[in-house]
Chain A
């Protein structure tokens, strides 16, 4: 819940306080000085739709036995990562929120809550790491850390909901977070050019 408060602050601050431009930002800002509300909505919508599509795609993959609950490949995370890297903070948060909100209709409130906690923790870690320029965190590292943060956020939410500590899952979630994080990182690398193309196509 702490992170939620942090994010709200950031959300308010980010337009007014100039963030030292990262390489991604420079690129993005160079291309479009101001985002019109229509473009904001269109871009967010496309990203969110993409995230949902990837979630759906992932659900089509064969079920791997022996995986603990919560350990997923998380292909949709690639879109969130792309948003964090190439789109604005409000857009990124919107994608995370829409992705979770879809679960609200699909599987109910508790699934929504768990997904949202994971998503918010993951995205806040991601946004912070991207902005620490000196570290220049690699994409693989970003992907791994955000995947693990996602798992931990879900674990916290599930613990709150069930009222019991579910820390027995932590080792497995750390391990699979790292493994799947690497995989989604590679997927993002492959998708990156296409995603940029998509983003820029709206500009024409």
Chain B
């Protein structure tokens, strides 16, 4: 058995493998698309979960009479039968944690992205 047990190139081979493993590990971090997920809750139960990046054109959803438009950029409540219309004034949800609530119709629309939440809460 004359085959060498260990050659000096083996250490390079092992290091290169570790290198590749490391690169592969971090690869998706740098090239992952900005993932945006819109969750729609009715009476606190999740009824719709929409991946924004999969949407080619804006889509409308109607939950408890509340009309929600979801596009690749974000989501907004278009109309609601509630009297105060606070949810409609919420405007477009774009960033992580942005939430539109229609309390009278018990509908919550929530945006989730991979980015970090900027504020823990907003007082209004």
Contact = CB atoms under 8 A, between A and B. Distances in A.
**Direct A/B contact, Cβ within 8 angstroms:** yes
Interface string A162-184: 00000110111011011000100
A23 B21 CA distance: 33
B21 A138 contact: no
Given A171-B22, A171-B25, A192-B1, A138 B10 contact: yes
Contacts of A145: 13
A141 B9 contact: yes
B2 A23 contact: yes
Interface in A155-204: 167-168, 170-172, 174-175, 177-178, 182, 185, 189, 192, 196
Contacts of B3: 23-24, 85, 136-139
A75 to B, nearest CB: 18
Interface residues of B toward A: which range?
A: 10 to 19
Interface of A: 23-24, 27, 85, 136-141, 144-145, 148, 167-168, 170-172, 174-175, 177-178, 182, 185, 189, 192, 196
Given A85-B3, A136-B4, A175 B21 contact: yes
B86 to A, nearest CB: 41
Contacts of A167: 24
